[in-house]
Structure 1
């Protein structure tokens, strides 16, 4: 049974495609606390709120 994607969220595949990174890179960043905030669904899938992703990108720009 497929899980519906909440509005305003990205799947892990969508996030990785947008950043042009591998899932492995994402999980490495997540383990180091460097990835955007994630929602963990009851089935274990991850979703990233678009607002959290945009804020994370802005924070990266400001860190330079």
Structure 2
């Protein structure tokens, strides 16, 4: 192999590994975003249930009192 061929192979290997790292980073980023979104939705629904429960309790106390 000549010097140019070695350089070409090296460049191809480096660029393909950079692309792999980039794609892996994108995948991680997407997973992170979807996980946070799911967590936010679950937290919202829990907060909603707590709020509804508190309102119902207040309403019951007012009607009985």
TM-score (norm 2): 0.29
**Bigger relative contact order (CA 8 A; separation at least 6):** 1
Higher Rg of the two aligned structures: 2
TM-score (norm 1): 0.29
